[in-house]
Amino acid sequence: MTLRRQAWARARAAVVSLLALPAAVGPRAVPGLRWVLTTWITPVASVLLVASAHAQSLPTFSEVRSQHRVSDFTLLDRRGVPLQVLRLDPRRRALAWVPLQDMSPALLRAMLLSEDQRFYEHSGVDWSAVAASAWANLWNTRTRGASTVTMQLAGLLDDDLAQRGGRSLSQKLGQAWVAGRLEQRWTKAQILEAYLNLVPLRGELIGVPAAAQTLFGKRPSGLDHRESALLAAMLRAPNTTATRTASRACALLRGMSEPCDGLEDEAAAVFTRKPLQWADAPQWAPHFARLALRPDGPAAQRSTLDGRIQRLAVESLGRQLGELQGRAVEDGAILVLDNASGEVVAWVGSSGQRSEAAQVDHVVSRRQPGSALKPFVYELALERRLITAASLLDDTPAQIPTAAGVYLPQNYDKHYRGWISARAALGNSLNVPAVRLGLMLTPEAVFERLNALGLQLPETGGFYGPSLALGSADVTLLGLTNAYRALANGGRYSEVLLPSSRKAASSTSTTTTTTATATTAASTTPAAPITDPRATFIVADILADNNARAITFGLTSALALPFPAAVKTGTSKDMRDNWCLGWSSRYTVGVWVGNSDGAAMQQVSGVSGAAPIWRELMLALHAGAPGQAFKPPPGLVHQPVRFDANQEPARQEYFVAGTEQAVLRLAATAVAISNPAQGAIYALDPDIPPAHQRLRFEHAGALGRDGPAQWRLDGRPLGRGVTVDWLPMPGTHELALLDANGRELQRVRFEVRGASVRAGRRSGL
């Protein structure tokens, strides 16, 4: 381009000198000489001066093909198989270069009939057409062009020769000169191939491949005679009306001895319908493609995705949502990570056409994980030696005072098991023991551990309170799956190996016909130890124990695999989200099922919604190569344990060294008020009969031989026994529990709000 511009500058200087010449030859010669100079000599001089520059800078066919810029890029899997085509350039539409042999014969025939009937006979300029055009221009007011395909290609290759704002004589002469050079250096097939890939067509469309896909939903090889004629008719006037395009196309079809009945209606339909895609265009990973593809990279870019697993994930999600049809669920997301490398093996952001928000990537959208956070609570409690896997935890109704009132956690099935081991409590996903563990650890400690594992919770531990142990915080599937991957790696956390999206491509990645190397990592930091590998192993052993979850899930659920795999489900409040996440020795798989708008599902839990997808993917990932058993780290003791009161059968159990126990016994339970809770607030409803609004005071634990406990309310005796009913009165009250000897054991304060039910009784209400 620099040589050409220098040559044009020299040409302009020469013209200025020539225009000064008439002053020296006399005034009578000035008008005629100026006309000759400006009309003929100046353009010819310009062309002659730039001819050498054009000859030196004329690109080769290979250079033109390799520098072809596309708007639509192809995402390849790790083996080079296409997974997704995605448009990244909103200004123009140009697809990958198509060889001439892959163009429709009907298209080649129609195009040459329209633009250059003697293409194979001339050497760049069709002099007979030039003569005919000159004669027509002499006798007719309407100009008739004589540009050959080679001359038009010259204009496409050189901005200086492009026909902007008309067709000047200098541009025509320049095109003719370059066309001659092209004919000498390129073959006819190369000229024709480059022209068809570069010629502008209707609107934003560049090249026949883009026009064939957008207008007809076909590849260039599949164009028939009518479609080829319409495209050829657009070459002369790309943005004209459908009627004029159809008229020109009909003339071409008649020249090809083909009928053109109804072509005007067909052209109108083509110009008004939405852009089309190829019927066989790969559409398996749209969300990951937006993340991975670089607009400054090659047309085909390789990724870490495994095409087989990616396609299976998309199909499995579709099948499962079909099975759940009628239960108000329409969306889902899937993420598969390689444990060792952190590479993304599969990434499904939504259910596609089933979703009302198909463009939303639910892999990175925040939702409530429910019980899927429990493994981290138990791991932290094991790590701090607050419990062992055999420790007996209290699974009875709890009332937990908070700043916003009394928090009443409940188990999913509304049943309680009393004293139950930590292994069974986690395996069966019981809520109350998890909340009590979270309080022992404090919400702040749980919050800090979750953030250390990359969940990036937006609030504070105090904001979430005791409900944090049950997944009240919003997390992403990406963050949660990677946190599970940290457990799979013995507590060592590292970021997911994400593509370096939209970053500058390597200077060596210039070709558009070859694939790029695998995507690079977004993080270069090494894995950091976050959790205790011994406690992490015990959690993994519990989550892989099919017997440990038998009470809630049975022995034949979707969570049971024929090889070792740790898995946990989660269901958020009102069944708005359900999850299934787990890992083997090689992979971590996370699945979310729900609705884009957060609407509640109908009786869809983690084991019935997300778990079947998780199971199918795990089996496929390990087909022919089952996962290996989890290897215990140093510092663990594996020994028999039995329960003194036969709460659970004897078994072999893992302990962190120094915490092992051979026999588990229940300690004597302290006598304490179980209802009401400290700071409880009760509201009375005047529309409910008073008999149905009585409060029951209750204590836990037994006093033994000392007899029943005594109750005092606001300093007055109320009754004796484990439970006492009371007809509430508005106000703030103080309840005391005393033993048989009158010694106070506990005191709580609570409040009753609303109209007095006794007053209602006296008034006859």
CA 431 to chain centre: 31
Does 379 lie in the same domain as 256? no
Q: How far apart are the first and last CA of the chain?
A: 97
Residue with tokens 């531990």: 461
Does 454 lie in the same domain as 381? yes
Does the residue 706 lie in any domain?
Answer: yes
Report the C-alpha gap between 506 and 294 in whole angstroms.
Answer: 11
Does the residue 326 lie in any domain?
Answer: no
Whole-number pLDDT of residue 682: 87
Report the C-alpha gap between 728 and 730 in whole angstroms.
Answer: 7
Q: Which stretch of DSSP H or E encloses residue 737? A: strand 731-738
Does 485 lie in the same domain as 549? yes
For residue 398, what is the domain's CATH number? 3.40.710.10
- Looking at the chain, the number of H-run helices and the number of E-run strands are 27, 27
Long-range contacts of residues 739-742, Cβ cutoff 8 Å, at least 24 apart: 739/671, 739/703, 739/706, 739/709, 739/710, 740/703, 740/706, 740/707, 740/708, 740/709, 740/710, 741/706, 742/710
Does 568 lie in the same domain as 450? yes
For residue 115, what is the domain's CATH number? 1.10.3810.10
Report the C-alpha gap between 632 and 564 in whole angstroms.
Answer: 13
Contact 406, 675 (CB under 8 A): no
Does 255 lie in the same domain as 148? yes
- Cα 145 to Cα 140, 156, 172, 252, 283: the distances in Å are 13, 17, 10, 17, 43
Does 750 lie in the same domain as 613? no
Report the C-alpha gap between 460 and 177 in whole angstroms.
Answer: 73
Domain boundary among 212, 244, 272: 272
Contact 299, 507 (CB under 8 A): no
Domain boundary among 272, 294, 311: 272
Report the C-alpha gap between 48 and 45 in whole angstroms.
Answer: 5
What residues pair up with 600 in beta bridges, in sequence order?
none
Does the residue 389 lie in any domain?
Answer: yes
Phi, psi of 636 (to 5 degrees): -110, 150
* Pick from 267, 272, 449, 291: nearest CA to 373: 449
What confidence tens digit (pLDDT) does each residue in 275-289 have?
888 777 899 999 999
Phi, psi of 519 (to 5 degrees): -60, 150
Whole-number pLDDT of residue 522: 44
- Cα 322 to Cα 318, 319, 361, 598, 606: the distances in Å are 6, 5, 20, 19, 16
Whole-number pLDDT of residue 669: 67
Does 232 lie in the same domain as 349? no
Does the residue 329 lie in any domain?
Answer: no
Report the C-alpha gap between 24 and 537 in whole angstroms.
Answer: 101
**Overall residue count recorded for the chain in this entry:** 765
What confidence tens digit (pLDDT) does each residue in 664-673 have?
988 766 788 8
Does 214 lie in the same domain as 162? yes
Q: What is the DSSP letter of 667?
A: P
**Which residues have a Cβ under 8 Å from the Cβ of 165 and sit 6 or more positions away?**
none
* Pick from 102, 218, 100: nearest CA to 149: 100
For residue 748, what is the domain's CATH number? 2.60.40.10
Stretches in the chain below the pLDDT threshold 70: 1-56, 124, 126-146, 159-172, 500-525, 668-669, 702-706, 755-765
Report the C-alpha gap between 56 and 67 in whole angstroms.
Answer: 18
The parent domain of residue 700 ranges over: 672-762
* Pick from 139, 155, 198: nearest CA to 54: 155
- Cα 438 to Cα 422, 445, 709: the distances in Å are 13, 9, 31
Contact 339, 448 (CB under 8 A): no
Does 474 lie in the same domain as 364? yes
Does 268 lie in the same domain as 150? yes
Does the residue 591 lie in any domain?
Answer: yes
Does 390 lie in the same domain as 259? no
DSSP secondary structure string, 671-708?
Answer: PEEEESPTTEEEE--TTS-GGGG-EEEEEES--GGG-S
Does the residue 87 lie in any domain?
Answer: no
Report the C-alpha gap between 252 and 581 in whole angstroms.
Answer: 62
Domain boundary among 621, 655, 689: 621
Whole-number pLDDT of residue 471: 95
Report the C-alpha gap between 717 and 637 in whole angstroms.
Answer: 53
Does the residue 312 lie in any domain?
Answer: no
Contact 6, 14 (CB under 8 A): no
Does the residue 713 lie in any domain?
Answer: yes
- Cα 152 to Cα 118, 178, 199, 235, 256: the distances in Å are 14, 10, 8, 11, 23
Whole-number pLDDT of residue 706: 61
Does 364 lie in the same domain as 230? no
Q: Is 139 helix (H, G, I), strand (E, B) or coil?
A: helix
Q: Count how many domains the chain has.
A: 4
